[in-house]
Amino acid sequence: MIWLHGDHLRADNPALRRYPEAPVVFVFDATFLKEYQFSFQRLFFLYESVLEVFAGRQGACSIRLGQVVEEVRDFATLHKATTIATTRTLGSRFAQYKAELAQDYRVQAFPVPSLVPYEAANVPKRFSAWWREIETEALK
């Protein structure tokens, strides 16, 4: 199965390409959403982006809301998955979620191509902050 997360919502996602018929789950992280209080427009943009990624997929696709690890485990159990494929991210919660899932499943985290070389002690919480740092390099 594939665990799709918000840091790589693209149809050319390496996990999606590697397993084109695998079931896919995207989880709106309830704790994260409560903490950051995203606008309706931002949530709708994420929802539409997930639907675009799901378009044309052969396997089952599901959007869930809740605790990420619980929802991914439930989806894996439902689809009798033994491997969870996803993509790497700098997001701080990702390493924790991946470690928890790795207790029960083989977790494959595919690398994603970098837009620009980027090293940061503190990953920005908003895209706009990150974009301000890399815009000149990205648009070369």
For residues 78 and 59, which has the higher predicted lDDT (pLDDT)? 78
The pLDDT value recorded for residue 90 is 77
Asked whether the predicted pLDDT for residue 29 surpasses 90, the reply is yes
The parent domain of residue 105 ranges over 2-114
- Other residues' Cβ atoms within 10 Å of the Cβ of residue 56: 8
Number of folded domains that form the chain? 1
Residue 133 lies in a domain: no
Asked whether the predicted pLDDT for residue 59 surpasses 90, the reply is no
pTM assigned to the model: 0.83
Residue 139 lies in a domain: no
Residue 121 lies in a domain: no
The pLDDT value recorded for residue 118 is 64
The pLDDT value recorded for residue 119 is 67
What's the rounded Cα separation, in Å, for the pair 76 and 71? 9
pLDDT for 68-119, tens place per residue? 999 999 999 999 999 999 999 877 789 899 999 999 999 999 998 776 666 6
Residue 80 lies in a domain: yes
The pLDDT value recorded for residue 129 is 77
What's the rounded Cα separation, in Å, for the pair 113 and 136? 18
What's the rounded Cα separation, in Å, for the pair 7 and 127? 10
CATH number at residue 73: 3.40.50.620
Confidence grade of residue 128 (pLDDT, cut at 50, 70, 90): confident
pLDDT, the chain, mean: 89
